[in-house]
Amino acid sequence: MSTHKELADLDVGALRRLIRQGGYTRHTAGLAAGRLQCNLAILPEDFARDFIRFCELNPKPCPIVAIGRPGDPSLPDLGAEIDIRTDVPKYRLFRHGVLAGEVTDIDDLWRSDFVTIALGCSFTFENALMAEGISVKHIDLDQTVPMYRSNIGLTGVGPFGGEMVVTMRPIPEDRVEDAWKISARYPQAHGAPIAKGDPSTIGIADLTRPDWGDPVDVGPGEIPVYWACGVTPQNVLMKAEIPFCITHAPGHMLVADVAEDADIPTFHAHRH
């Protein structure tokens, strides 16, 4: 099994092939720099239209970058060779809103009515932050970014609604404004932060106890900065309690062929 450090310079095609073969099952933060990484929601066609509309109305946590055709495991808008059944390091299975397990491929679970929705990921702006000399602590520590349930309400559609999930990154006080401006350039990757400072203002009781990911210390001279998070749709799918759906495991993304700063078209539910 390859380590994260060994894969840091691997090109995207080789990385996906390794993941497809089961040779890497950990987080993808910091891998395939410059390539778009995606959160995933895979759900039956009967629920997909409402979910796509929900994402359109909540683009900050749920920026759509590609939508698959029913029953088709490819995502040609993101890469010619992508097979969504095998090309993610780890998947989560949800049955009636309950986490039913984690697997490293979903080939045996694939159905003819499944629709894949790929959503932009914060790893894109993290690469931009690092390129501008702003350290990203969880990557330095080879950990998964801390994620928290917030009290920020979302616009509901059908069975889908709830509150936003946010990520936190400690940013040096003198670079917070820079981090704000840099991430704002990537609306397909959650864009600018939604808050900074006191976590209680957005309903977080304790930064040392994230709901997902690993805790990261906020050191002297640093300010916690919060971004909308692509785990939001997972939380929403759990609350909707639909019979069956599949997502990526937090931090374990689909790595696409397209550049992370590519001009992503706006998707509309009526097309699908």
Domains in the chain: ranges and CATH:
4-122+240-262 (3.40.1640.10), 124-232 (3.30.2040.10)
**One-letter amino acid for residue 135 of the chain:** S
pLDDT digits (tens, 9 = 90+) for 206-224: 999 999 889 999 999 999 9
Q: Which whole number is the average pLDDT over 232-238?
A: 90
**One-letter amino acid for residue 166 of the chain:** V
**One-letter amino acid for residue 120 of the chain:** G
Q: Quick one: how many helices (H) and strands (E) in the chain?
A: 7, 11
What pLDDT shows up at residue 141? 82
What pLDDT shows up at residue 271? 42
Task: Give the whole-angstrom CA distance, residue 72 versus residue 60.
Answer: 27
pLDDT digits (tens, 9 = 90+) for 70-80: 999 999 999 98
Task: Give the whole-angstrom CA distance, residue 58 versus residue 5.
Answer: 35
User: In this model, does residue 270 exceed pLDDT 50?
Assistant: no
Task: Give the whole-angstrom CA distance, residue 269 versus residue 57.
Answer: 11
pLDDT digits (tens, 9 = 90+) for 155-196: 999 999 999 999 999 999 999 999 999 999 988 888 999 999
Higher pLDDT, 80 or 66: 66
Strand ranges inside 141-264, DSSP E: 147-153, 163-172, 195-196, 222-228, 245-248, 254-259
Radius of gyration of the chain (CA): 17
Query: Taking a C-beta distance cutoff of 8 angstroms, is the pair 37, 254 a contact?
Result: yes
Through-space distance between the first and last CA atoms of the chain, rounded to whole angstroms: 39
For 147, residues 6+ apart whose C-beta sits below 8 A from its C-beta are: 165, 166, 167, 168, 210, 211, 212, 213, 229, 231, 250
Query: Taking a C-beta distance cutoff of 8 angstroms, is the pair 29, 91 a contact?
Result: no
Burial class (CB in 10 A: 0-12, 13-18, 19+), 239: middle
Q: What is the DSSP string of 225-249?
A: EEEE-TTHHHHHHHHHT-S-EEEEP
Which among 188, 189, 176 has a CA at the least distance from the CA of 132? 176
User: In this model, does residue 243 exceed pLDDT 90?
Assistant: yes
Structure tokens that stand for 50 in this block: 């409402």
